[in-house]
Amino acid sequence: MDNFLKLYHEAAVTSIGLFWMALWAFGLGYLISSLIQVFVTQERMKKGMGEAGAKSVALGTFFGFISSSCSFAALATTRSLFTKGAGLIPALAFLLASTNLVIELGIIIAVFLSWQFVVGEYLGGVFLILLMWMVVKLTLPEKLEDHARDHAKKAMGEEQEEDIPDWKRLIRSKEGWRKVSNRYIMEWDMVWKDVTIGFTVAGIIAAFVPKSFFQALFVGSDQSDPAMWEILIQTLIGPVAAFFTFIGSMGNIPLAAVLFSNGVSFAGIIAFIFSDLVVFPVLRIQAQYYGWTMALYILGVFLAVLVATALLLHYGFSVLGLLPDPSMAKSVTEREFFKVDYTLFLNVAFLAMSAGFLWWNKTQNGGHDMEDTSLGEKVLYWLAIAAFIWLIGGLLVGLM
């Protein structure tokens, strides 16, 4: 019983710590998404990213690079770009870049893993975009893209307007920033349940799952030199494990360290890291945005390109003698999450901004009601409430 309570407290602290690490990235990403939705006109976006050519893909990649590393925030921004007229390929390039090529993600990987994973993350991010471009170009039905765009516009609750305000005047007006605050709260309103559940599960996995389980799941992880077929299986298992365990490109890095310390191959870890966009909460949100047909299509494309990229990186690094040593991995549960560093100051800043936007939204608009009474939403709501209770209980156990 004492051991369970210790692990329970450890799981709760880990969940909260993982979220604390990613909080400012959430805020930054949702702010960018809100700014795009309010200030960027459809015509301007069409000129930049309307076609699936090299320039459009390059712009999408660049915008992703300077954006947030948070998967949910990137999803919201991608939807904004897509509904404003960007083509699917540039929009997906933005999505992949914003979850794989951002600077802060490389820093987190360097802390939890090793420099080989940092190189693999950035080089692999480029491979993901190039392979996605090729696969979508060859397989995407035109009607599917049109249907998804119409669905996304309806999901956002805004129809195309003939008279679009000048963004230069809007950005200097109180009304413009009121709309930004409203959009910002709406984005959080849409995903808070998925975020709560996802990080809670991440902490539970990190604290409770024994090494023997990882060795059974990732075939060959207990060997120093696994066979090629074992590497392939680990690469396929990576996305499957990710689908049920983590949330967000920032939150999955500590769990990747758990896998690495348990002997999972470089390819399996890279596939796991790249799978932040094929987890169930992301699939569910994609379906809300674009409909289930497009959501499943994007899922299939991402799965194919991430497995191919992980294998390409693994054997490329192997030929060069650059594969990392698993003994270098640090345990996620032993990490000090809460300390005075840049994360603290960024989180305080974005918490203050969020509180201000929430207050403004409540006082000016009377709040924005996004209540969804569907069975799925009700189940997620009560699961999120149960997650909060679990986390509070875990913290209280530590005090006792």
pLDDT by residue (tens digit) across 249-285? 655 776 777 788 778 889 999 999 888 888 877 888 8
pLDDT of residue 270: 92
pLDDT band at 42 (very low <50, low <70, confident <90, very high): very low
CB atoms within 10 A of CB 351: 13
The per-residue pLDDT for range 91-108, each reduced to its tens digit, is: 899 899 988 887 767 777
Return the residue matching tokens 């200030």.
39
pLDDT of residue 69: 56
pTM over 0.85: no
**Span 78-93, mean pLDDT?**
84
State yes or no: pLDDT of 79 exceeds 90: no
pLDDT of residue 340: 84
**Span 33-38, mean pLDDT?**
74
- Rounded Cα distance between 86 and 45, Å, is 6
**Span 366-374, mean pLDDT?**
55
- Rounded Cα distance between 26 and 264, Å, is 29
Cβ contacts of 321-328, under 8 Å, gap ≥ 24: 322/116, 322/119, 323/116, 323/266, 324/113, 324/114, 324/116, 324/117, 324/260, 324/266, 325/114, 326/260, 326/261, 326/262, 326/263, 326/264, 328/113, 328/114
**Span 320-340, mean pLDDT?**
73
The per-residue pLDDT for range 137-169, each reduced to its tens digit, is: 999 887 898 888 888 877 666 544 445 566 677
Average pLDDT value over all residues in the chain:
80
pLDDT of residue 193: 78
**Span 1-25, mean pLDDT?**
84
Higher per-residue confidence, 238 vs 333:
238
Contact status, residue 262 vs residue 256, Cβ threshold 8 Å: no
pLDDT of residue 176: 80
- Rounded Cα distance between 91 and 86, Å, is 6
